[in-house]
């Protein structure tokens, strides 16, 4: 029980330090208002809350202790609408905030967020360390407008017990995956599905990922043009249709999915064995031991449809950015540089169970204790790691794609029809 | 002569005093209602994203609407909800008001119970209904199963999304019911007694006494409910909400209403000009529908006796 005692002692020390820091700040606030010697206070408004906010506050406290010039005040504000409206006035309410990578282009093009290149140079941030697929989302018109604090990749998770019972090995190709899905889907006499070979926690993520798996691209070779009808995308969608709709019936799949328990809860269908496999992100590796400790699961990269397309994955990012209406951009950038530094990024991504965005951290021993985490970590190094573009059109494109994917899943439209309708809409973006 | 001048001065004083007392409303109305209305009309002719200066584009936003399939989808969805929702609201709340008017034991409790859902915050109600409509764990399908009725996929089936919205709307019908209840109290009891003595049954009395007497209230309720349905947002938004401020519109966009698509354009796609134009089109639609209803009311709404008018 030494560990518990030490833990408690460290906690006490932390608390004491916190009290000291707070009182120091309060005192300096009283005496130093208006004087140039006091620290510049910047506000970090973040969408995270709960345990994630707590982890973030720890990083903030470390930063505040590490230097005297800047004091960061963290505010948990999970309202994305408020975040946006605050940035539309000349006087903003925060100096740094977070969102998802797909907003960067839209916001940059409208002048909502500030370009960071000059600050990154003066603060010594080496942008070549970031995973290229993640960094691509941060750029608009050649400039960097945000930095990824955490990233996510997609891999194929499978239930070891179900595989063992069926005498199957994890699939090594998309054809094998399709065959395994058919073998592992259980239906009653009426054709009603009681267990499915592969689940679908997010149709948009699954379909865009399948497009990449079959060599497709959603934003063209220039990363700036919506290309929903790319042959690879159509192949990916058709793989879904033939594996699920043609084999089991779209209505049966819908009936099965609509009754499933809540994602990531104890009733999550993958945790309860209602889904034998699922393509999902690395956050599962941290969640499963907490919510479903008895689940025997493994994870492999999504099987390749072709040998040149091995280790294909979709990358998504959580970003930090500085709004254009911030009065303390330089100070915010200094803090941003600290946040994406090795120590803070490791600490924060570990707490969230997310991947670090810098390739030099991927082999860090810090992540060793998370079961199966290395598969997702390694995928970030893959040449076939792709991220959706973050262009001004991205929000509308994602909405239209979402509706079209939904039509494909319900069997209301063929992949070709659905993607052509998106292409027609994309002309007016 | 001096008295006349004094009284004129007094009148002007009165006017100024009156304006002074009304000034909070006049100033507030000008700043918060009149100016935004004018501004949105101006923005509707521009390309405006909230952050950069608007750029004049003529009627491009209006002509784009005609070619935008999602706009038409949202408009049709809203029309369907209105066409079914308004009569349902009127009929159910009128029947409910009659039931609540019956002199039975515990009458005040029933009246309170009918009104209670209206007090529940809309967002709480929305998440509540998402659970109620869950096909596996929800109460709605549980009871349908007990009655051996089909159990629809509600929020996952394009055919059942709108009924789900209507179901949720009917849950908060208490406000309309209470207004009808008050109207029923105003129906002269002596007319009912006289008709009863003449041998008129319940339906004859309803048609000839109750319905004409409460027709002005029905007109009011219909207009208010139509406007509410044309602007319906909260219920479908909450039932289809996915992540942050995005909402999907449900399976096959079957639950994407006009107001939701307007919101999407304004705050997700940041197309304020297009959203403003949509708001004005909705305003014109509402105006036309209301005027049609008012015009038709001459045939079916009775305001007291003819001698008084």
Residue of A84, A193, A281, A399 to mutate for B, most B C-beta atoms under 10 A: A399
Bin A311: left if φ > 0, else alpha if -120 < ψ < 50, else beta.
left
Residues A324 and A310 in one domain: no
H or E stretch at B7: helix B2-29
Q: Which residue of B has its CA nearest to A425?
A: B68
Residue A386 lies in a domain: no
Q: Is the dihedral of CA A293, A9, A48, A100 positive or negative?
A: negative
pLDDT at B134 over 50: yes
In a domain, A188, yes or no: yes
pLDDT reported for residue A90:
83
Distance from CA of A78 to the nearest CA of B (A): 8
pLDDT at B22 over 90: yes
State the SS3 of chain A: CHHHHHHHHHHHHHHHHHHHHHHHHHHHHHHHCCCCCCCEEEEEEECCCHHHHHHHHHHHHHHHHHCCCEEEEEEECCCHHHHHHHCCCCCCCCCEEEEEHHHHHHHHHCCCECCCHHHHHHCCCCHHHECHHHHHHHEECCEECCEEEEEECEEEEEEHHHHHHHCCCCCCEHHHHHHHHHHCCEECCCCCEEEEEECCCCHHHHHHHHHHHCCCCCCCCCCCCCCCCCHHHHHHHHHHHHHHHHHHCHHHHHHHHHCCCCCCCCCCCCCCCCEEEEEEECHHHHHHHHHCCCCCEEEECCCECCHHHCCCEECEEEEEECECCCCCHHHHHHHHHHHCCHHHHHHHHHHHCCECCEHHHCCCHHHCCCCCHHHHHHHCCCCCEECCCCCCCHHHHHHHHHHHHHHHHCCCCCHHHHHHHHHHHHCCC
Instruction: Using alpha carbons only, give the angle B116, B119, B122 rounded to the nearest 5 degrees.
Output: 120
Confidence band for B2, pLDDT divided at 50, 70 and 90: low
Q: What is the pLDDT of residue B31?
A: 94
As a whole-number percent, the residues of chain B with pLDDT over 70 amount to 95
* Judgement on whether residues A358 and A212 belong to the same structural domain of the protein: no
Minimum CA–CA partner of B244 in chain A: A80
Q: A171 and A123, same structural domain?
A: no
Residue B305 pLDDT exceeds 80? no
- Residue A133: inside a domain: yes
Does A355 map to a domain? Answer: yes
**B169: helix, strand or coil:** helix
Split into its structural domains, chain A has a count of 2
**For A413, nearest residue in chain B (alpha carbons):** B252
Q: What pLDDT tens digit does each residue of chain A (429 aa) get? A: 444 444 444 554 555 544 444 444 444 444 334 445 689 999 999 999 888 899 999 999 999 999 999 999 999 998 888 898 899 888 889 999 999 999 999 999 999 999 999 999 999 999 999 999 999 999 999 999 999 999 999 999 999 999 999 999 999 999 999 999 999 999 999 999 999 999 999 999 999 999 999 999 999 999 999 999 999 999 999 999 999 999 999 999 999 998 888 899 999 999 999 999 999 999 999 999 999 999 999 999 999 999 999 999 999 999 999 999 999 999 999 999 999 999 999 999 998 899 999 999 999 999 999 999 999 999 999 999 999 999 999 999 999 999 999 999 999 999 999 999 999 999 988
Record: contact A258-B50, CB cut-off 8 A? no
This prediction's pTM: 0.85
Whether residues A182 and A224 share a domain: the answer is: yes
Residue A86 lies in a domain: yes
| Closest Cβ opposite residue B252 in set A111, A396, A410 | A410
Residues of B in contact with A88 (CB under 8 A): 50-51
Q: Do B269 and A259 touch (CB under 8 A)?
A: no
Based on the fold, state whether residues A414 and A273 are members of the same structural domain. yes
Please name every residue paired with A97 in a beta bridge, in sequence order, or none if there are none.
A45, A321
In the prediction, which pLDDT does A157 show? 98
Instruction: Please give the residue of chain B at the shortest CA–CA distance from A427.
Output: B68
> Do A320 and A348 touch, CB atoms closer than 8 A?
no
Same domain, A66 and A142: yes
Residue B160 has pLDDT above 80, yes or no: yes
- pLDDT band per the 50, 70, 90 thresholds, residue B308: very low
Do A322 and A309 lie in one domain? The reply is no
Q: What is the pLDDT of residues B88-118, one digit of tens each?
A: 999 999 999 999 999 999 999 999 999 999 9
Q: What confidence score (pLDDT) does residue A32 get?
A: 38
Out of A81, A254, A399, closest to residue B153 by CB: A254
Best probe of the B interface among A92, A107, A258, A404, by most B CBs < 10 A, is A258
* Same-domain status, A167 and A131: no
Which residues, 6 or more positions from A392, have their beta carbon under 8 angstroms from its beta carbon?
Answer: A105, A106, A109, A110, A429
Cβ-based contacts of B135 with chain A (< 8 Å): 255, 258-259
Q: Are residues A235 and A181 in the same domain?
A: yes
**pLDDT attached to residue A22:** 47
| CATH number (domain holding residue A398) | 3.40.190.10
- Flag if B252 and A425 touch (Cβ within 8 Å): no
- Closest-CA residue of A relative to B69 is A425
Quote ipTM for the complex: 0.81
Q: Is residue A404 part of a domain?
A: yes
Q: Are residues A166 and A130 in the same domain?
A: no
b/e burial code for range A152-169 (CB count within 10 A of at least 16 → b): bbbbbbbbeebbeeeebe
CA distance linking residue A42 with residue A52, whole number of Å: 20
User: A406–B248: do the CB atoms touch at under 8 Å?
Assistant: yes
Closest chain A C-alpha to B190 CA, distance in angstroms: 56
Of B50, B156, B244, the CB nearest to A258: B156
Residue A388 lies in a domain: no
Residues in B whose CB is inside 8 Å of some CB of A read 49-52, 64, 67-70, 134-137, 153-158, 244-246, 248-249, 251-253, 264, 267-270
**pLDDT recorded at residue B245:** 59
- A51 and A121 fall within a common domain: yes
Q: Cβ B157–A412 below 8 Å, yes or no?
A: no
pLDDT in tens, B223-281: 999 999 999 999 999 998 876 556 678 888 999 999 999 999 998 899 999 999 999 99
Q: Please count the residue pairs, one from chain A and one from chain B, whose beta carbons lie less than 8 angstroms apart.
A: 73
Does any domain span residue A11? no
Tell me which residue in A80, A110, A255 faces B270 most closely, judged by beta carbons: A110
Closest B-chain CA to A399: B248
Of A111, A259, A421, the CB nearest to B136: A259
Residue A296 and residue A195 share a domain: yes
B244 to A87: CB separation less than 8 angstroms, yes or no:
no
Query: Which residue range forms the structural domain that includes residue A421?
Result: 154-314+393-426
Mark yes or no for CB contact A403/B67 under 8 Å. no
Instruction: Looking at the complex, report in whole angstroms how far the Cα of residue B138 sits from the nearest Cα belonging to chain A.
Output: 9
pLDDT digits (tens, 9 = 90+) for B60-93: 999 999 999 999 999 999 999 999 999 999 999 9
């Amino acid at each position: 029980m030494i560990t518990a005692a030490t833990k408690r002692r460290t906690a006490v020390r932390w608390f004491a330090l916190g009290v000291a820091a707070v009182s120091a700040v309060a005192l300096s606030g009283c005496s130093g208002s208006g004087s140039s010697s006091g620290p510049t206070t910047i506000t970090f408004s973040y969408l995270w809350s709960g345990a994630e906010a707590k982890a973030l506050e720890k990083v903030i406290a470390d930063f505040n202790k590490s230097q005297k010039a800047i004091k960061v005040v963290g505010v948990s504000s999970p309202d994305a609408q408020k975040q946006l409206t605050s940035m539309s006035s000349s006087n903003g309410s925060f100096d740094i905030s977070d969102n998802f990578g797909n907003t960067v282009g839209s916001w940059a093009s409208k002048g909502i967020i500030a370009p960071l290149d000059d600050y990154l140079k003066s603060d010594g941030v080496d942008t070549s360390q970031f995973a290229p697929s993640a960094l691509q989302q941060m750029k608009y018109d050649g400039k960097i407008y945000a930095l990824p604090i955490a990233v996510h990749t997609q891999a194929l998770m499978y239930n070891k017990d179900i595989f063992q019972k069926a005498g199957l090995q994890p699939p090594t190709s998309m054809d094998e995956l399709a065959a395994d899905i058919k073998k592992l889907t259980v239906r009653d006499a009426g054709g009603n599905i009681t267990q499915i070979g592969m689940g679908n926690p997010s149709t948009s993520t699954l379909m865009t990922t399948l497009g990449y798996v079959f060599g497709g691209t959603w934003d063209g070779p220039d990363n700036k043009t919506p290309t929903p009808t790319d042959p690879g995308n159509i192949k990916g969608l058709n793989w879904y249709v033939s594996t699920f709709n043609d084999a089991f019936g779209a209505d049966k799949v819908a009936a099965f999915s609509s009754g499933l328990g809540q994602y990531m809860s104890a009733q999550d269908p993958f945790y309860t064995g209602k889904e034998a496999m699922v393509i999902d992100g690395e956050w599962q590796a941290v969640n499963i031991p907490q919510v479903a400790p008895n689940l025997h699961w493994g994870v492999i990269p999504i099987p390749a449809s072709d040998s040149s397309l091995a280790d294909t994955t979709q990358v998504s990012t959580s970003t930090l950015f500085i709004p254009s209406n911030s009065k303390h951009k330089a100070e915010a950038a200094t803090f941003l540089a600290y946040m994406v530094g090795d120590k803070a990024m490791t600490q924060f991504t570990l707490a969230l169970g997310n991947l670090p965005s810098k390739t030099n951290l991927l082999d860090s021993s810090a992540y060793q204790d998370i079961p199966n985490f290395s598969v997702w970590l390694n995928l970030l190094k893959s040449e076939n790691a792709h991220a959706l573009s973050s262009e001004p059109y991205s929000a509308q494109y994602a909405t239209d794609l979402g509706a079209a994917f939904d039509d494909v899943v319900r069997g209301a439209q063929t992949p070709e029809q659905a993607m052509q309708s998106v292409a027609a809409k994309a002309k007016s973006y | 002569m001096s008295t006349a001048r004094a009284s004129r001065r007094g009148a002007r004083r009165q006017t100024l005093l009156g304006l002074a007392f009304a000034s909070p409303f006049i100033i507030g109305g000008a700043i918060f209602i009149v100016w935004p209305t004018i501004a949105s009309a101006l923005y509707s002719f521009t390309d405006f994203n909230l952050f950069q200066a608007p750029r004049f584009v003529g009627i491009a936003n209006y002509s784009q609407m005609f070619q935008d399939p999602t706009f038409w989808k949202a408009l049709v969805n809203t029309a369907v909800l209105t066409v079914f929702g308004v009569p349902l609201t009127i009929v159910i709340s009128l029947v409910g008001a009659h039931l609540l008017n019956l002199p039975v034991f515990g009458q005040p409790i029933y009246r309170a119970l009918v009104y209670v859902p209206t007090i529940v915050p809309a967002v709480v109600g929305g998440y509540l209904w998402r659970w109620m409509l869950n096909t596996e764990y929800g109460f709605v399908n549980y009871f349908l199963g007990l009655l051996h009725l089909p159990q629809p996929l509600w929020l996952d089936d394009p055919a059942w999304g709108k009924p789900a919205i209507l179901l949720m709307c009917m849950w908060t019908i208490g406000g309309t019911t209470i207004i009808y209840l008050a109207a029923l109290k105003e129906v002269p009891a002596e007319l009912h007694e006289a008709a009863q003595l003449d041998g008129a049954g319940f339906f004859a009395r309803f048609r000839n006494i109750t319905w004409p007497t409460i027709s002005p209230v029905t007109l009011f309720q219909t207009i208010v409910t139509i406007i509410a349905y044309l602007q319906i947002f909260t219920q479908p938004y909450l039932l289809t909400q996915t992540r942050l401020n995005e909402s999907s519109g449900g399976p096959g966009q079957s639950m994407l209403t006009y107001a939701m698509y307007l919101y999407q354009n304004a705050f997700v796609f940041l197309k304020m000009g297009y959203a403003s134009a949509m708001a004005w089109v909705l305003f014109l639609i509402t105006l036309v529908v209301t005027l049609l209803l008012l015009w038709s009311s001459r045939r079916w709404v009775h305001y007291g006796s003819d001698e008084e008018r």
